[in-house]
Amino acid sequence: MTDTTFAPPRTEMSYRALLAGLSLAVLAAFILSLAIGYGWLDFGAALADVLSSRDSLSALVLTELRLPRALLGLFVGFALGLAGAVMQAFLRNPLAEPGIIGISGAAAFGAVLVFYSGLAAVSSLLLPVGGIAAALVAGFLLFAVAGRNASTSTLILAGIAVNSLAGALVSLVLNLSPNPFAATEIMFWLMGSFADRSLTHVAIALPPIATGCLALFATARALDALALGEDTAASLGFDLRVTRILLISGVALAVGGAVAVSGAIGFVGLVVPHLLRPLVAYRPSLLLAASALGGAALTLAADIAVRLLPTQPELKLGVVTAIIGAPFLFSLVWRLRGEMR
Amino acid sequence: MPRLLLAAMLILAAAAPAAARPQQVVSINLCADQLLMRLADPQQIASLTYLARDKSMSNLADEARDFPVNRGLAEEVMRYEPDLVLAGRYTKRVTTDLLKRIGVNVLELDVPRTIEEVEAQIRLVGGALGQEARAEALVREIEGKRLAAEDGATPQRPTAVIYEPNGYTVGAGSLIDTLLSLSGLSNLAAERGMQNYGRLPLESLVTLSPDVLVIGTPRETPALATELVRHPVLSHMPRPMEIAAVPPRLWVCAGPEMFEAVAILRQAAAQARARP
């Protein structure tokens, strides 16, 4: 079971070029995300101040406001792109994505419950715990109702049910809060944003996102084997139950951790794997890294866009990703309409 | 004879407001609630908004417990068969329009932007309630406090930025801006040409680096909007800001309590001036 049995050397070469290109795109978007913001900032001077640890206002803006934003864009986008690629491969379903099937929505509910009840004030670490726990419950529920062999429509219908319930519960918790501002914050949780997040948010989201991504990458070989059919995968020694546990816990950790600090950002996990799949010769294992990098690049680019658009207040990130993603979803449904009937 | 007639008419005119005093007044606006409680006789008040009992928003929360409350729905208002409804110019538009359409006497209150406008509004509501004497007394109280505040003006004005929930700030042409300058502070947002309310990204706030940051008092229950002032960047500023916490109830509505806000700001200004 080595890689060479699957891919000829020529593909290997172009795959490396693809990853290098995507990494460059992520790097460029990351630097742009640091350089673009509100108000004028001499990026070079600010960077010099940071490097020589001088306490200037521009250094402060760079490290305490723009850096957390760029880091969250990188990690959250990475997690969403990866989760989408793994779920589409495992469920053999082109519409599988944390947002569409309701995992993100459930995670938002978990985080909202922890935050507005005041538990997050006890320890900020509880915020991702709430998101992860709710994402886990939703993951197991979805697998129970619509497992691996379910039709596309069964999975989507189960997703609609989870999504609407989660959205309603988020709204309920926000309306029950005695703080009059809470009720207006549903947009943040259902559309997502990196605005005014701090390094604390990065610190609490990074461990679950990193652990979750490792679990998801661990499914790579099993996903390749599964592409040849379940029996073949079993005969190659892959235990489907182990893969399923890795997948659910990986998605819950990565998406739950991400949503807890940035709200639910839709469509990244849907669009990116579809765009990149033809470039990796439809090999699930190769798609994972490419899709994760692509997700980071798209999320960072969308976050740059919301800062450049002259809206008051700032647009939520999910608005931009949905404007890109929804027509894409529509075209997918168009192509699938024979199968879904 | 004509002189006698004139005298009789004057006597009648003086007695008339008392006779025409509205007896069933309903308020559907928090600021109108407080004006009503200050100016009207208790038996004139039919109902106030539920917000009037909220200690964080209302200066007369305890007094408001004596009156029935409403949520500003037309049906609730009609139940009291009001002869006068006090409403805000910009809030509960649907209710206000409906009430006017069915012929209810509605007095819409503007949002005053200066102390003169506050005083004019007090006289307007006092007249509508037939309580001109109490209105004059309240205006005199405010005028006295304003003169006392202007007395202590100093030439050196530290800079200040108001930071309201969700990162909103207050610019020129607002009562809060007037109070800020009365406290001896100069409003940076107004200097930057901002009118009324506008959003100030955290990044811009850091770059402005004011001497004094004016925030609301912390609330017990969390919301992202009110969490913003806890962002670590604000405690890491190279030139630390003086933080002035003003309870929102003091200046959400115009009343004599706005001078308590001035006192808090004045103290912050003094501390900012004392710094090296």
Residues A9-39: pLDDT tens digits? 566 778 999 999 999 999 999 999 999 988 7
Closest CA to A192 of A253, A140, A131, A239: A131
Res A42: pLDDT: 82
Res B94: pLDDT: 87
d(CA A231, CA B128): 85
Res B165: pLDDT: 87
DSSP B52: G
- Do B77 and B166 belong to one domain? no
Closest CA to A260 of A113, A65, A53, A96: A113
Residue A208 has pLDDT above 90, yes or no: yes
- Confidence band for A339, pLDDT divided at 50, 70 and 90: low
Contact B222/A118, CB-based, under 8 Å?
yes
Residue with tokens 């944390």: A98
Residue A207 has pLDDT above 70, yes or no: yes
Q: Which residues of A touch B222 (CB under 8 A)?
A: 115-116, 118, 120-121, 179
Question: Would residue B151 count as lying in a domain?
Answer: no
d(CA A325, CA B132): 63
Mean pLDDT of chain A, nearest integer? 90
Q: Which of A55, A181, A196 sits opposite B231 (nearest CB)?
A: A196
- Do B32 and B122 belong to one domain? yes
Cα nearest neighbour of B220 on chain A: A179
Res B218: pLDDT: 76
- Do B129 and B163 belong to one domain? no
> What is this model's ipTM?
0.77
Contact B238/A195, CB-based, under 8 Å?
no
Question: Would residue B10 count as lying in a domain?
Answer: no
- Do B91 and B194 belong to one domain? no
CATH of the domain at B252: 3.40.50.1980
Question: Would residue B6 count as lying in a domain?
Answer: no
Looking at the complex, report in whole angstroms how far the Cα of residue B148 sits from the nearest Cα belonging to chain A.
35
Res B3: pLDDT: 56
- Do B210 and B100 belong to one domain? no
DSSP B63: H
Task: Look up the pTM and report it.
Answer: 0.84
Question: Which residue, B116, B145, B174, sits at the end of a domain?
Answer: B145
- pLDDT tens by residue, chain B, 276 residues: 455 555 554 444 444 445 579 999 999 999 999 999 999 999 999 999 999 998 888 999 999 999 999 999 988 999 999 999 999 998 888 899 999 999 999 999 999 999 999 999 999 999 999 999 999 999 999 999 999 888 766 778 999 999 988 888 999 888 999 999 999 999 999 888 777 778 888 888 998 999 999 998 877 788 888 888 889 999 888 888 999 999 999 998 999 999 999 999 999 999 999 887
Question: Which residue, B117, B145, B173, sits at the end of a domain?
Answer: B145
Counting the structural domains of chain B, the total is: 2
Percent of chain A with pLDDT over 90: 65
Res A1: pLDDT: 41
- Confidence band for A230, pLDDT divided at 50, 70 and 90: confident
Averaging pLDDT over each range in A147-161, A311-325, B213-227, which range is the top one?
Answer: A311-325
Whether A149 contacts chain B with CB within 8 A: no
Domain that holds residue B187: 159-274
- Do B27 and B139 belong to one domain? yes
Q: Give the mean pLDDT of A209-222.
A: 97
- Which of B91, B207, B228 to mutate to test binding with chain A, by most A CBs within 10 Å of its CB? B207
d(CA B37, CA B15): 23
Count of Cβ atoms closer than 10 Å to residue A174 Cβ = 21
Question: Which residue, B111, B145, B179, sits at the end of a domain?
Answer: B145
Percent of chain A with pLDDT over 70: 94
Q: Give the mean pLDDT of A199-216.
A: 97
Res B239: pLDDT: 86
- Do B138 and B163 belong to one domain? no
d(CA A119, CA A122): 5
Are B213 and B161 in contact by the 8 Å Cβ rule? The answer is: yes
- Confidence band for A49, pLDDT divided at 50, 70 and 90: confident
Are A218 and A82 in contact by the 8 Å Cβ rule? The answer is: no
- Do B165 and B57 belong to one domain? no
| Helix A268-276 / helix A317-340 crossing angle, nearest 10 deg | 60
d(CA B176, CA A41): 30
Around A218, how many Cα atoms within 13 Å sit in the side-chain half-sphere?
18
Q: Which residues of A touch B201 (CB under 8 A)?
A: 37-39, 195-196, 314
d(CA A246, CA A237): 16
Give exposure, B231-253, as e/b (b: 16+ Cβ within 10 Å). bebbeebeeebbebebbbbbbbb
Q: Which residues of B touch A56 (CB under 8 A)?
A: 238
Closest CA to B83 of B124, B25, B139, B40: B25
- Do B80 and B128 belong to one domain? yes
- Do B140 and B66 belong to one domain? yes
Containing B161, the helix (H) or strand (E) segment is strand B159-163
Closest CA to A88 of A79, A98, A78, A102: A98
Instruction: Tell me how far CA of residue B237 lies from CA of A38, A49, B164, in angstroms.
Output: 18, 14, 19
- Do B219 and B267 belong to one domain? yes
Architecture per CATH, A73-340: Orthogonal Bundle (1.10)
DSSP-based three-state secondary structure for B261: helix
Residues 6+ apart with CB under 8 A from B91: B28, B29, B72
Pairing of strands B159-163, B186-187: parallel
Looking at the complex, report in whole angstroms how far the Cα of residue B50 sits from the nearest Cα belonging to chain A.
13
Q: Which residues of B touch A64 (CB under 8 A)?
A: 206, 231-233, 236
What backbone phi and psi angles, to 5 degrees, belong to B195?
Answer: -105, 140
Q: Which residues of A touch B167 (CB under 8 A)?
A: 196, 313
Bigger pLDDT: A92 vs A323: A323
Alpha helices of chain A — where are they, by DSSP H? 9-35, 43-51, 57-60, 67-90, 103-116, 119-122, 126-145, 152-176, 186-191, 199-217, 220-226, 230-235, 240-262, 268-276, 284-308, 317-340
Question: Would residue B39 count as lying in a domain?
Answer: yes
d(CA A164, CA A106): 10
Containing B246, the helix (H) or strand (E) segment is strand B242-246
Res A89: pLDDT: 93
Count the residues in chain A: 341
